[in-house]
Amino acid sequence: MDNVSEVVERYDKVLSEVRGISPRATLVLASKMVSREVLEGLAARRPGVIYGENRVQELLSKYFPAEGLTWQFIGRLQTNKVKYIVDKVSLIQSVDSLRLAEEIERRSAKIGKVMNVLVEVNIGGEESKGGVPKEELFPLIDAISAMPHLRLSGLMSVLPATEEGELIPLYDELYALYREVAAKVGAGEDFILSAGMSGDYALALSHGSTMVRIGSKVFGARQY
């Protein structure tokens, strides 16, 4: 892992690139496998940074509060782990079942919090990835909309790792779904479409994404 100064420099560059393509887009830093030391250093020098963690155990081991810092959960979430994170994150991006939504509702109600959530859509139909199939999206949207301690804040998707020519129609399809959901729930301009990572964030932003999740482009290669 690179030192904090290098990380800050790359963060500034990537943020500038993101805003250059889409001025209102949000950059979430996928902080999997990044040390707490590096995360603390970046947060101290760039208040307002957003970290997105993939695993509950890792989030708990690294979590710290800091001025302007927010944490999100962006990975697959088991219902029995919800209780550990509802007081720590501002957004759960990976809601892909009614059972999970109900557990987040229950745990959020216990602490008097309204949790922002994104529904994850498996737009590529990949069995190895989480997310609801397109045909199950609207029933889940309806159920979440009726839960008093959940706020439907948008959609999220993890697209296949494939050629740009194959990604473009998937991004267009995802954006059309996003617009349909936004119209259905009467969403405002802050309704989120979270799609795009280090390899395809420019393409995602140019096809309607409002939030990108970038890790290695800022933090360098992970040491697995």
pLDDT band at 163 (very low <50, low <70, confident <90, very high): confident
Domain map (residue ranges) of the chain: 4-219
pLDDT at res. 125: 82
pTM across the whole model:
0.96
Q: Is the pLDDT of residue 224 over 90?
A: no
Q: Beta-strand (E) ranges in the chain?
A: 26-30, 50-53, 70-73, 91-95, 115-120, 150-156, 192-194, 211-214
4-219 adopts what CATH topology? TIM Barrel (3.20.20)
Mean pLDDT score, 77-94: 98
The average confidence (pLDDT) of the chain is 95
Q: Which of 80, 73, 71, 24 is nearest to 43 (CA)?
A: 71
Phi and psi, residue 198, nearest 5°: -55, -35
pLDDT in tens, 11-48: 999 999 999 999 999 999 999 999 999 999 999 999 99
Mean pLDDT score, 115-143: 92
